[in-house]
Structures are given as C-alpha cells and as structure tokens.
Chain A
Amino acid sequence: KAGVTQTPRYLIKTRGQQVTLSCSPISGHRSVSWYQQTPGQGLQFLFEYFSETQRNKGNFPGRFSGRQFSNSRSEMNVSTLELGDSALYLCASSSQQLSYEQYFGPGTRLTVT
C-alpha cells in the first residue's frame, strides 16, 4: 500500500507570496493532520481534518489555512509568507477518527526568501 505522499517536496518562495501544499493520505485513511517543524520550535500541530471537517486547530495565525476534499486529500495554504514560515511541513494520516497510529509523509521543505 502506498504511503502518505506530499507535494511538492521542496519549494522556494518570496516573502509576501502565498503557497499551497498538498497531502495525499494512505488509501482508505480519512483523518489528516498537518505539522510544522522548525529547528527552534520543533514539531508543532497546525490543524486536523476528518471527513472534510476541521476538528482541531493549533495556535497559528489565520494566514495558515487548510481543507480536505471528499477523497481525503488535503491541502494547506499559507498566505503573505514571512521568513519565519520557512520550515518542514509534515502531513500525517490515520484510518480512524481516533487512532493509535498515525503515518507521516516525508514533508515539504518550504524556504521563504
């Protein structure tokens, strides 16, 4: 079974631009969560979706948004990029609404210049 895929794997953007990252969960998984990883703050939770509904949101500004489609694929969008948004963005999927085990993708490395 294919794992979680994230596209693109690497991205360079300029401050003030916006970016959309994509996550395709494991087939049959309906729960998708997003995390931001930086050297200074570590892994931080962004938001979580289940069956197209956002269930939970972390402490990030409104510039960070996401959505989930009926096929469980998810996108996250960051508008008005800042230098501090440079990070590895990770997506995780699980099969159930509440799951003991989550599967992470390889991440998208975003660099903002």
Chain B
Amino acid sequence: DAKTTQPNSMESNEEEPVHLPCNHSTISGTDYIHWYRQLPSQGPEYVIHGLTSNVNNRMASLAIAEDRKSSTLILHRATLRDAAVYYCILWRRGGATNKLIFGTGTLLAVQP
C-alpha cells in the first residue's frame, strides 16, 4: 500500500488561508488522493479527492503536483471549526475495495 507523509501539526490564525501538505512519492497511476478530517469527538469526515487535476469544492481546494508525488489541501479562510486532524489518504480504485489506510495525519490548531 502506498504511504503518505504529513507534518504532525500545524497552526493557523482564524480567517487566514491554510496549506496542509502531503507527500506521496510512491503513488501509482491508479491512486486517488483523498482528504478526510476528524473533528474532536467525531468520526472522520470526507473533505475532497482528486486524481491529477486541481479540485475545488465548498469545503476546500486540492492542489496536486504535476508529478503527483505531493499534494496540498487548501482551506481558504480557516475558522475555529476547522480545528481537526487532517488525513491524506491514497485510494486505489483498481483495488476493488473502499478500504482507507489512515496515517497519523496533521493536527491543525486554529487560533482566534
């Protein structure tokens, strides 16, 4: 299974953009890049996913490097409610499974 590497923790100020990096140098061509987040005392929550092109949704943007060996989750204006652990996960569609392999994630602290 391909592995992802994320910083253990990051800090941001409220209403400022946040860029959460993820390295996945062993990514294969059929691996999708998924991001989930886990707020305190809750189950993980889907944020966004992408394959090759940059993606935007109502929660965040995902910027994928041209060689796909890294990606960045962008929260455009952090709020206190964005404080969570963010997980970058590689999901292989050809693996015929919905199994997610979670790493240690990045703990994002948002200061008022």
Contacts and interface: CB of A to CB of B under 8 A. Distances in A.
Interface of A: 4, 31, 33, 35, 42-45, 48, 50, 55-56, 58, 90, 92, 94, 97-107
B49 interface: yes
A96 B96 CA distance: 11
Interface of A is mostly: strand
A48 B96 CA distance: 11
Given A42-B105, A104-B45, 19 more contacts: A43-B87, A43-B102, A45-B100, A48-B97, A48-B98, A48-B99, A50-B98, A56-B97, A92-B44, A98-B93, A98-B96, A98-B98, A100-B32, A100-B49, A102-B98, A102-B100, A103-B46, A104-B44, A106-B42
Nearest to A3: B43
Interface of B: 32, 34, 41-46, 49, 87, 91, 93, 96-105
Nearest to A32: B98
A33 B45 contact: no
In order of increasing CB-CB distance, the 10 nearest A-B pairs are: A104-B43, A43-B102, A101-B46, A56-B97, A104-B44, A90-B43, A45-B99, A56-B99, A100-B49, A31-B98
Interface of B is mostly: loop
A45 B101 contact: yes
A42 B43 contact: no
Contact of A42 (B49, B97, B104): B104
26 contacts: A4-B43, A31-B98, A33-B98, A35-B100, A45-B99, A48-B97, A48-B98, A48-B99, A50-B98, A56-B99, A58-B99, A90-B44, A92-B44, A97-B96, A97-B98, A98-B93, A100-B34, A100-B91, A101-B49, A102-B98, A103-B46, A104-B44, A104-B45, A105-B43, A106-B41, A106-B42
